Structure 1
Amino acid sequence: MTVISDQEIADFSADFNTNSKNQVASRAARRSGLLEASFNDRVSERLNHVFSTELDVDGVTDQKHSGRCWEFATLNVLRHYFGKQNKVKDFTFSQAYNFFWDKIERANAFYDAMIRLADKPLNDREVQSWLAFAGEDGGLWSMAINLVKKYGVVPSYAMPESFNSNNTTGLIDSLARKERKDAIALRKLVSEGSSQDELEKAKKHFLNEVYRMVSVALGEPPKKFDLEYRDDDKKYHLERDLTPREFVQKYFKDFKFDDYVVLSNCPNHEFNKLYHMPLYDNVDGGDQIKFLNVPIEYLAQAAVAQLKSGDAVIFGNDVLKQMERKTGYLDTKLYQTDKLFGVDTKMSKADRLATGEGFATHDMTLVGVDEDHGHIRKWKVENSWGDKYGHKGFYEMSQPWFEDYVYDVVVRKEFLTDEQVKLAEGPAIDLKPWDNIG
């Protein structure tokens, strides 16, 4: 390591003061903040609210202070389907219900992993990955579908949002602390030579405590409910004593859950390969969490095709990059901080993933696209941050933003190439828990 000398500091200062624009930029940035000082309002010229293909979607949801975007986005797709099939646009599902079961299932997966990895030291990279993942509330489409398949869904009124579902910090912090302590206990039992029955008994005890914690925080989920709504033609509907599973079996019998594939665009990994992320396998016996990694143009083509078929598209993205909540703009030229600083921080997508600069932090839903003779101009995005942001909760995303910051889309197999379908149905490559695949 070399020491920064006084002469070098003097040189840095002289260089800064050589250009008078630096002082102007500094005053603007100090007064209004870096992002506001570098905001490019000209993006509004191309991010208007008109789209050549647009789904008939009414209203948005609000995940509040929680990491449940993946559940909101998944249930948004399901509510659009239910609404179209039953002519009821304003029907919503309970995110709290599926969030409850997510906490139980993920605790079970965590305890199984701790038993399986008990012979490894605590500082082992895989063990540390699981310990870091304990209690988390973020997730993915395939994880949400695993929960829907096993536990069904309920209307939002059957298990409404509460303080702790809207503000998950307290619950996930408590669960993480408990699960990590339980991990120590399970590792100790394994080291002492405990039988499988003894380990299962201990795990069941810990799961019972997790169930109690989640029930205190969220309330127990309903076992049955009455389906009651008035459709868009004002016709009244009532069906009594449905279980959550019966609801899915009856009203989603033609929704082919297994026809969906997650197409990813992560150029730090080889294209045309199917990858499996064991860390995210949230339901024992459920579907594995897989991604088919392909060039970005295939994500766009499949998403457009699915929108034109009348169905929404879930996509994973790095939402906090080049985004403004107030306007709902998502554009690569929105904040021109490089011009403000006089530097070049542009990186390739592969390099951003490889260095941790890039990561999928949020799930949203595509509900429209604007094309000009096959050229994509912009996308209409349904977010889950309430209707106070963007255009009544909807956002406008440029195609360059899609290419830079979208990491996956969830689309039906019919919109893939024949070769991609074969790959999606074939064997997958297991990823390490620390691999960044967006």
Structure 2
Amino acid sequence: MTKAIDTNQLTEFKNSLKKRNDYAVIERAVTKNGILATTADYHSEVEMNPVFSIDLDTGDVANQKQSGRCWMFAALNTMRHDIKNKFNVPKDFELSQNYTYFWDKLEKANYFYENVLNTASLPTSDRKVSWLMTTPQQDGGQWDMIVAIIEKYGVVPQSAMPETYNSSKSNEFNTTFNLKLRKDAVKLRQLVADKVSTEQIDIARKEMLESAYRMLVYSFGEPPVNFDFAYRDNKKQYHLDQGLTPQTFFKKYVGWNLDDYVSIINGPTEDKPYNHMYTVDMLGNVIGGRKVRHLNVDMDTFRQVAIAQLKAGESVWFGCDVGQESDRQKGIMDTALYHKDELFDIDFHMTKAERLDYGESLMTHAMVLTGVDLIDNQPKKWKVENSWGKKVGTNGFFVMSNDWMNEFCYQVVVNKKHLPAALQKVLQEEPKALAPWDPMGSLA
């Protein structure tokens, strides 16, 4: 049914508004100050006082600058926290995000080529092909994807492969790289249409990867094969470790069994029953490497496994929708921070499932839980290490209310030993594959 807005309706809308005694005051306030400033609640800032009953000492906050590497920063930060505790490295020590970034870009290019070839028989109007070409690659990722990179390439300290212009400000590179990948997709699809041999396709693909490698070296520098690691510890004692490789560095200084760490999600939509495993079609980076796998649980379990890991003295990688009900400068994430419903006299409430199903929310950012405030053994608020530098929040740390976690957190990564025995068994389950555009496949 077609129904246009008519002049009688407009007259009714205007007259109805004029009957509100406060409409002129609200109009002046919002037009002058904006929606958020007008609806901000001072009491939220009081409640989100950055004091926590469990508060891990994790060192300085890192800065991803103008790049979308939050998932990578968050993962490497959880590892550097452990290195700090074991080896007393300086509080500003960091693992090289540029190193893992380089290899992730190369692997994503190869993963894209694989998906292009697998869908080459489909028309470009097909949803899968359209989804592929919309963003051939990007900065974002998920926990299992950084694990796949580390398992194949190891890690290095930032001193062995520092940041570059393009790693800290990635838009120019991404635009150019995606242009290359789309052009490569045209050629690969044409080769398939021409029914050339597998050998000819392999030769073309190798040439594409070689030129991708060249672009990456020019933009990020060449990754080290061997390097020395020198530092002064917190007691000013000098240490020099020579002849390391990225793999031996990881084994000695991180030493984690990465198979022990699993992705736990809270996706309360009807198509994802709790206590089952899920993966996402066409999502990944390293072909033949670790696959994306999620265990979907209720929020009570979600919170409790995160608390268990914090109590054990280990920080927690997590993914959320950071733009919802948050103040970047103050470093507050709280559902009571703004009252837009009261301002406009409109009920804006949607359930978490409704927000996911209707495109209102999905995971957009990854950070690290480094503390929690427990009152009567129940979480009130959480300490969050961000990767936006020290000039936001409290020296770069944010405070997240427990209600905000319930509504806008979607993923935590924990050691599987913190899971109940029944859920540890579920980890062995063959995961159900979700569509590529499912919100649980979003990249932080």
**Do both proteins adopt the same fold according to a TM-score greater than 0.5, normalized to the shorter chain?**
yes
Cα displacement string for residues 141-195 of structure 1 (whole angstroms, at most 9, x for unaligned residues): 1111111111111111211112111111111111111111111110100111111
> Helix, strand or coil for the counterpart of 1:279?
coil
Q: Show the counterpart of 1:336.
A: 339
Instruction: Say if 1:278 and 1:289, in contact at 8 Å, map to a contact too.
Output: no
Query: Are 1:181 and 2:183 an aligned pair?
Result: yes
Aligned length: 437
- Report the Cα distance in structure 1 between the residues aligned to 2:336 and 2:18, rounded to whole angstroms: 27
Tell me which moved more, 278-287 or 113-122: 278-287
Q: What is the identity, as a one-letter code, of the residue corresponding to 1:323?
A: S
> Helix, strand or coil for the counterpart of 2:372?
strand
> Helix, strand or coil for the counterpart of 2:343?
helix
Q: Show the counterpart of 1:65.
A: 66
Q: What is the identity, as a one-letter code, of the residue corresponding to 1:143?
A: M
Q: Show the counterpart of 2:310.
A: 307
Query: Are 1:393 and 2:393 an aligned pair?
Result: no
Q: What percentage of aligned pairs have identical amino acids? A: 41
> Helix, strand or coil for the counterpart of 2:439?
coil
Query: Are 1:26 and 2:27 an aligned pair?
Result: yes
Please report the TM-score for the alignment, with normalisation by the length of structure 1: 0.98
Query: Are 1:120 and 2:125 an aligned pair?
Result: no
Q: Show the counterpart of 1:109.
A: 111
Q: Show the counterpart of 2:289.
A: 286
Give 1:280 deviation, angstroms.
2.2
Q: Show the counterpart of 2:250.
A: 248
Instruction: Say if 2:112 and 2:137, in contact at 8 Å, map to a contact too.
Output: no
Give 1:84 deviation, angstroms.
1.0
Q: What is the identity, as a one-letter code, of the residue corresponding to 2:324?
A: K
Q: Show the counterpart of 2:374.
A: 371
Q: What is the identity, as a one-letter code, of the residue corresponding to 2:25?
A: V
Instruction: Say if 1:143 and 1:280, in contact at 8 Å, map to a contact too.
Output: no
Q: Show the counterpart of 1:169.
A: 171
Give 1:120 deviation, angstroms.
0.8
Give 1:279 deviation, angstroms.
2.4
Instruction: Say if 1:315 and 1:365, in contact at 8 Å, map to a contact too.
Output: yes
Give 1:235 deviation, angstroms.
1.4
1:31-46 to 2 correspondences below 5 Å: 31-46=32-47
Give 1:20 deviation, angstroms.
2.3
Give 1:85 deviation, angstroms.
1.2
Cα displacement string for residues 192-226 of structure 1 (whole angstroms, at most 9, x for unaligned residues): 11111111111011111111111111111122211
- Report the Cα distance in structure 1 between the residues aligned to 2:4 and 2:51, rounded to whole angstroms: 56
Cα displacement string for residues 368-403 of structure 1 (whole angstroms, at most 9, x for unaligned residues): 000011121100000000000000000000000000
Give 1:67 deviation, angstroms.
0.7
- Report the Cα distance in structure 2 between the residues aligned to 1:49 and 1:434, rounded to whole angstroms: 37
- Report the Cα distance in structure 2 between the residues aligned to 1:132 and 1:418, rounded to whole angstroms: 41
Instruction: Say if 2:363 and 2:410, in contact at 8 Å, map to a contact too.
Output: yes
- Report the Cα distance in structure 2 between the residues aligned to 1:212 and 1:13, rounded to whole angstroms: 62
Which of residues 342, 345, 358 in structure 2 aligns to 1:355?
358
- Report the Cα distance in structure 1 between the residues aligned to 2:17 and 2:227, rounded to whole angstroms: 67
Give 1:26 deviation, angstroms.
1.4
Instruction: Say if 2:58 and 2:84, in contact at 8 Å, map to a contact too.
Output: no
- Report the Cα distance in structure 2 between the residues aligned to 1:179 and 1:419, rounded to whole angstroms: 44
> Helix, strand or coil for the counterpart of 1:247?
helix
- Report the Cα distance in structure 2 between the residues aligned to 1:133 and 1:282, rounded to whole angstroms: 14
> Helix, strand or coil for the counterpart of 1:20?
coil
Give 1:409 deviation, angstroms.
0.4
- Report the Cα distance in structure 1 between the residues aligned to 2:195 and 2:185, rounded to whole angstroms: 16
Give 1:132 deviation, angstroms.
2.0
- Report the Cα distance in structure 2 between the residues aligned to 1:162 and 1:21, rounded to whole angstroms: 53
Q: Show the counterpart of 2:229.
A: 227
- Report the Cα distance in structure 1 between the residues aligned to 2:415 and 2:128, rounded to whole angstroms: 33
Give 1:426 deviation, angstroms.
1.7
- Report the Cα distance in structure 2 between the residues aligned to 1:341 and 1:47, rounded to whole angstroms: 25
Give 1:435 deviation, angstroms.
1.5
Cα displacement string for residues 255-296 of structure 1 (whole angstroms, at most 9, x for unaligned residues): 121011111001112211210123222101111101111111
Tell me which moved more, 114-123 or 129-138: 129-138
Instruction: Say if 2:275 and 2:426, in contact at 8 Å, map to a contact too.
Output: yes
Instruction: Say if 1:107 and 1:179, in contact at 8 Å, map to a contact too.
Output: yes
Unaligned runs of 5+ in 1: none
What is the root-mean-square deviation in Å for CA atoms of aligned residues?
1.1
Cα displacement string for residues 91-143 of structure 1 (whole angstroms, at most 9, x for unaligned residues): 21110111000110000000011111111111111112222231211111111
- Report the Cα distance in structure 2 between the residues aligned to 1:256 and 1:222, rounded to whole angstroms: 23
Tell me which moved more, 334-343 or 74-83: 334-343
Instruction: Say if 2:59 and 2:81, in contact at 8 Å, map to a contact too.
Output: no
- Report the Cα distance in structure 2 between the residues aligned to 1:118 and 1:379, rounded to whole angstroms: 47
Tell me which moved more, 302-311 or 142-151: 142-151
Cα displacement string for residues 63-87 of structure 1 (whole angstroms, at most 9, x for unaligned residues): 0111100000000011001111112
Divergent runs of 4+, >6 A = none
Please report the TM-score for the alignment, with normalisation by the length of structure 2: 0.97
Give 1:322 deviation, angstroms.
0.6
Give 1:333 deviation, angstroms.
1.2
Give 1:252 deviation, angstroms.
2.7
Q: What is the identity, as a one-letter code, of the residue corresponding to 2:152?
A: K
- Report the Cα distance in structure 1 between the residues aligned to 2:85 and 2:104, rounded to whole angstroms: 27
Cα displacement string for residues 331-389 of structure 1 (whole angstroms, at most 9, x for unaligned residues): 00111111111111110000000011011000000000000111211000000000000
Instruction: Say if 2:111 and 2:287, in contact at 8 Å, map to a contact too.
Output: yes
- Report the Cα distance in structure 2 between the residues aligned to 1:23 and 1:166, rounded to whole angstroms: 46
Q: Show the counterpart of 2:406.
A: 403
- Report the Cα distance in structure 1 between the residues aligned to 2:241 and 2:164, rounded to whole angstroms: 25
> Helix, strand or coil for the counterpart of 1:319?
coil
